Chains A and B, each alone.
Chain A
């Protein structure tokens, strides 16, 4: 019979051995996965450059599925969709890329190109909430906007603390109050639009807008591919949407592609 000390010793050694092996396996998995992902992206690039855009789409989609998410991959995927004549999916991916790289002129140029080429052309946004959202979204990611507004927020409370402690600072505090209200307004509309009115793009050639969530409702008008809209509600596979010019209606959820709206 082994003594209790021996059992504890063996158990400790065993546990240490298992943890070491486990750690090695984890590192190996990470290295292998990274290597595979890098290999897939390289294959996708080669396929794209050889004009095999469908294969490039599959490989980029695979990379995204495996969690290798970045603005560059979305942009490259958008390019591949664009060259296979799918402007809706191309615009969807360009808009996703823009969320990561809002100051990229290449992405902006491709988005402008598709907007000009689509049937509905360039639509001017009429909703002031969305206009307010667009003030920052074209230049800053939500994280960057959040950090800048937090700095203004922090500065406001620092000055408020100084005023409580020592008096004075009234003019600075007034200016900061105005700045903070504007900044919070911009951030608020940004978060509101991104979560409550997420953007989506029509990805089918045409889709019929209805007055309600179903085929039995009346037909309103036809939406063409690559039209951008804001989703207001979702019910039974149908989406209530609003167009930039204010028109509203219901369309099948399968006919549009969402632009992600997670807040982290």
Chain B
């Protein structure tokens, strides 16, 4: 038994625990001697046998390179290296060299945090040195900065239009290359035509291929059939190591004459002339002298409206609180006319209040009216008692209105309801007075 145990331990010690299963990373570029501005795809691969979910990838500075704003989702696959199956995480970056000469892409660093099964690790890629080539001379006149392989198409819409009208010209360049830095090709127009509103849109179709569209509005002049001049676009092809030029097909236009005069003034987003006209001077001293930036006192007066409103609130608050507090009115037996007059004043005041407060005020006014008539303190409890001497039909109306006034304090009511209830109460009380006479 002891011999078997010894054999197992010996065999286990022979299994390589080893550095071979440790994660590692490598970087690779798709071209080792690119031209200035030529897109370079840098691929970072992280080989691992364990989860590296919380790892941090620290990118190098890419000194001497520009970095594309287009980003790509990382990919993942398995690969066997030296008989070990690794999970490979792959991330690609598109960069381009800013100058000729030897440039070095510094190492990527991956910080893998500590887990219950392994300690924290830092893995780095090797630095990559590439030799960037400058463009050969002489470059064609229409070459600006495009590097790659491209096709160019031009479209005009509409192709039949009146003289002085604008057409939309779109030039679409597709292929592989430095789309992000690519400038618009030069558009040569007849002297009296005008180019408006240059707009650019760029779409990266895949890691290598993309499409860039330049759009302009062109104001055409003339009469009859004419041809929109071909647009020449030159680029440097790194594959053939030569400059290449592409021309758009000429576009036939049918321009009809117009009697309308060209606009003297232009819209805010318009006007780009192909020549350099001398702009007219503005006459000085005609405009108002209001400064564009407000003087400091203009900012300070902002405080006054809230201050005045606060003062109004402070002034109005005791009155509101007085209204909300149940007022113990000292009952004093008075003539019906005086009671009616006081009631009318109270009901009128109630109408200037908010609906809910107004209902409470109406109920209080009726109790006060009854108190004045009876010479006793009248509340909801003894209101019926106080109305004993009233004609039965008026008493019922008054009681139901009082109930409504009390209930209305807790129900959705409007200013119109307040007015209707006040008028009804007043009518009943006037009728009671007449009946009592």
Query: In the docked arrangement, what's the CA distance between A236 and B301, Å?
Result: 38
Across the interface, which residues of B come within 8 angstroms of A146, CB to CB?
A: 294, 298-299
Chain B min CB distance to A79 (Å): 5
Across the interface, which residues of B come within 8 angstroms of A108, CB to CB?
A: 268-269
Q: Tell me whether A24 is interfacial, beta carbon within 8 Å.
A: no
Contact with B along A95-130 (1 / 0, CB 8 A): 000011100111011101100110101100000000
Q: Tell me whether A62 is interfacial, beta carbon within 8 Å.
A: no
Contact B316 A109 (CB under 8 A): no
- Number of interchain pairs (Cβ within 8 Å): 145
B273, B283, B309, B357 — most chain A CB neighbours (10 Å): B309
Q: A100-B287, A164-B316 are in contact. Are A263 and B269 (CB under 8 A)?
A: no
Closest to A83 in B: B278
The listed residue (A101, A117, A141, A263) touching B272 by CB distance below 8 A is A117
Q: Tell me whether A238 is interfacial, beta carbon within 8 Å.
A: no
Across the interface, which residues of B come within 8 angstroms of A156, CB to CB?
A: 305
Q: Which of A70-78, A199-207, A225-233, A250-258 contacts B (4 or more CB under 8 A)?
A: A70-78
Count of B residues near A, CB < 8 Å?
Answer: 59
Contact B352 A166 (CB under 8 A): yes
Q: Tell me whether B353 is interfacial, beta carbon within 8 Å.
A: yes
Chain A min CB distance to B255 (Å): 23
Contact with A along B193-231 (1 / 0, CB 8 A): 001111110000000000000000000000000000000
Q: A122-B198, A150-B302, A160-B309 are in contact. Are A116 and B63 (CB under 8 A)?
A: no
The A interface, classified by DSSP as helix, strand, loop or mixed, is helix
The listed residue (B281, B291, B306) touching A48 by CB distance below 8 A is B281
Q: Tell me whether A219 is interfacial, beta carbon within 8 Å.
A: yes
Q: A121-B200, A153-B302 are in contact. Are A72 and B284 (CB under 8 A)?
A: yes
Query: In the docked arrangement, what's the CA distance between A45 and B302, Å?
Result: 42
Contact B290 A141 (CB under 8 A): yes
* Cross-chain pairs A/B with CB under 8 angstroms, 20 sampled: A82-B276, A106-B280, A109-B266, A109-B270, A121-B184, A122-B199, A141-B292, A142-B294, A143-B294, A150-B298, A157-B305, A157-B306, A158-B305, A166-B352, A167-B357, A211-B61, A218-B61, A218-B62, A219-B64, A264-B295
Beyond A79-B279, A144-B290, A218-B61, 5 additional contacts (C-beta under 8 Å) are: A49-B281, A72-B286, A142-B292, A143-B293, A161-B312
